[in-house]
Amino acid sequence: MDEQEELKPETEQVEEDEKLTTEALHEMIVNKDIQGLRETFLTVQDADIAEAADELETTDLIYIFRSVPSSSTASFFDYLNQDAKENLIAALTDKELVKIINEQAADDVTDFVGEMPANLARRVLLAAKKDMREDINRLLNYKEGTAGSIMTTEYLEFIDTMKVDEAIEAIREKGKGAETIYTIFVRDRKRDFVGTVDLDNLIFASKTQRLSEIMNKDVVSCSTLTDQEEVAKMFRRYDLSAMAVLNEDHKLAGIITVDDAVDVMTAESQEDLARLTNMEPSTKSYMDMSAWENAKKCIPWLIALLVLGTFTTMILNRLESQAIFTTMAILTAFVPTLMDTGGNAGGQTTGLMIRGLAVDDFGPKDWAKILLKEFRSALIVGAMVGAFAFLWITIEQYTGIVNMGDISGTGDITNPLNFDGATIWNGRVWTAEFTEHALIFSGLVALTMFCSIVAAKLIGTLLPIGAAAIKKDPALLSQPLLTTVMDAATLVIYFVIACAFFPAYA
């Protein structure tokens, strides 16, 4: 009964957003409420405490680590941001560091040590016990982004001749330090990796069976050099909870668990999102980034796009001197719309490609099939949007949303334009010439849009697929290149069609 009363507020906590606040935590520290702090670490999720602690001073954090037993603060420490970790490591005594570091998993320590100034990294390595220090040093040698760099070396590996009851006993003894006990990795006497046993298989098996009899042999594994994105795809595809990472000799070098794979998936999709919005991806969370760090991720891409945009400026500048653009000022008014539509249509396709490649729905080898599908789809989209544009632009002209200016061909476009649609509608003689001109003009914009959409979707297919084919991140350059190419292409298409439709003004 009591338990139930105690529990309700806790499970509902997440929904009602009654999270631990920084103020509450700070108050306990100021009041030296050690009991309250320890209680907090027993009842509140470590991730939530770490969030509340995010804005605490280092002195407050030190107080926490000095008052709460290190067994309770291990996972809390892991959740802290990099700056907080560095400040703590600089401020704590050697003895305190030894306690904290050795409660961590070697792979987590590797993650933050890798980004630390050398003097702090040295402190951490000195504090780590011999086994852990060796693990960290080994893990630090794997290139970032490989399976080796995200794997953990704390797993259970048993020989295939072991009996089920021996294995369960061994798990009881050695399991506490392992990252997972739900998957047991099995080697033969030559130390080659030969399979895995899930804990449930152990539980369901009879006690005298050997691991070799009950293990899964068709297991999915990767090498230490496998790209971490590839690893995440395998986790998603095969619904794995842990995966073996093998070295070149087919021996177990480490394991990757599903929570690490989830982190990679999140990071990769965040990276794709960043690329699609023309930003340098960041490994820091937004809240941990300063305004200056944030700006540094934005500026290079904006400048690159500005330089690439020079082609558009140049072409538009040249076209403006062409007779047809000087006589028909209305042409210019549709340039942004046409460019936007081309860019948007291509962006949709680029997005589809990046998503499909990210979840392994298809690969570069399927390019011909995909190009054909996108071409078909582009014809439909181009025809429908073009038809709508024809209608809409005709309406725009008749209602005076856009003013066609002087269509007499004298080049005098400075006469006052009508801001009021009614004047055109009623006051202007609605001649057959006007109607013909308006419809031809709508046709010009609609046809340009059709061509531009089809071109954009084809380029939007080829850029990311091409990047993937040469093993580059499909999101890296696709979007900016697409915009640049399409802006320029749309202008040229527009000009050519305009000259064909209105030869009198060309």
Choose one: 95-103, 107-115, 136-144, 389-397; the region binding its own copies (CB under 8 A). Answer: 389-397
Residue 106: both structure tokens together: 């070697």
Angle ∠(112,118,122) on CA atoms, nearest 5? 80
Burial 470-481 (b: 16+ CB within 10 A, else e): eeebbbbbbbbb
Q: In the set 20, 150, 345, 468, which binds its own copies (CB under 8 A)?
A: 345
Place of tokens 């050697």: 94
Q: In the set 77, 334, 441, 502, which binds its own copies (CB under 8 A)?
A: 334
Q: Is there binding between residue 226 and its own copies (CB under 8 A)? A: yes
Question: Which residue's CB is nearer to its own copies, number 59 or number 216?
Answer: 216
Q: Is there binding between residue 6 and its own copies (CB under 8 A)? A: yes
The three-state secondary structure class of 222 is strand
Question: Which residue's CB is nearer to its own copies, number 55 or number 134?
Answer: 55
As measured in angstroms, the least distance from the Cβ of 473 to its own copies is 14
The DSSP line for 105-116 is -HHHHHHHHTTS
Do residues 273 and 451 make contact, with C-beta atoms less than 8 angstroms apart? no
Residue 50: both structure tokens together: 């770490």
Residue 344: both structure tokens together: 């948007």
Phi and psi, residue 22, nearest 5°: -60, -40
As measured in angstroms, the least distance from the Cβ of 399 to its own copies is 10
As measured in angstroms, the least distance from the Cβ of 21 to its own copies is 12
Q: In the set 373, 409, 420, 428, which binds its own copies (CB under 8 A)?
A: 373
Number of residues near its own copies (by CB under 8 A): 147
Question: Which residue's CB is nearer to its own copies, number 125 or number 379?
Answer: 379
Q: In the set 24, 90, 298, 492, which binds its own copies (CB under 8 A)?
A: 298
**Alpha-carbon gap, residue 190 to 484, rounded angstroms:** 58
Q: Is there binding between residue 317 and its own copies (CB under 8 A)? A: yes
Per-residue string for binding with its own copies, 475-494, x by CB under 8 A? --------x---x-------
The three-state secondary structure class of 45 is coil
Choose one: 95-103, 123-131, 134-142, 359-367; the region binding its own copies (CB under 8 A). Answer: 359-367
Q: Is there binding between residue 125 and its own copies (CB under 8 A)? A: no
Do residues 441 and 449 make contact, with C-beta atoms less than 8 angstroms apart? no
**Alpha-carbon gap, residue 245 to 152, rounded angstroms:** 9
Q: In the set 53, 61, 151, 199, which binds its own copies (CB under 8 A)?
A: 199
The amino acid at residue 238 is Y
Q: Is there binding between residue 184 and its own copies (CB under 8 A)? A: no
Choose one: 93-101, 114-122, 244-252, 498-506; the region binding its own copies (CB under 8 A). Answer: 244-252
Q: In the set 170, 362, 367, 466, which binds its own copies (CB under 8 A)?
A: 362
Q: Is there binding between residue 339 and its own copies (CB under 8 A)? A: yes
Q: Is there binding between residue 71 and its own copies (CB under 8 A)? A: no
Q: Which of residues 256-295 bind its own copies (CB under 8 A)?
A: 258-259, 262-263, 265-266, 269-270, 272-274, 276-279, 285-287, 291-292, 294-295
Q: Is there binding between residue 330 and its own copies (CB under 8 A)? A: yes
Q: Is there binding between residue 471 and its own copies (CB under 8 A)? A: no
The amino acid at residue 68 is V
CA–CA distance from 451 to each of 343, 378, 392, 448, 493 (Å)?
12, 9, 18, 5, 8
Q: Is there binding between residue 200 and its own copies (CB under 8 A)? A: yes
Q: In the set 66, 122, 143, 318, which binds its own copies (CB under 8 A)?
A: 318
Distance from CA of residue 500 to its chain's centroid? 45
Question: Looking at residue 239, what DSSP letter applies?
Answer: T
Do residues 261 and 232 make contact, with C-beta atoms less than 8 angstroms apart? yes
Distance from CA of residue 60 to its chain's centroid? 34
Q: Is there binding between residue 310 and its own copies (CB under 8 A)? A: yes
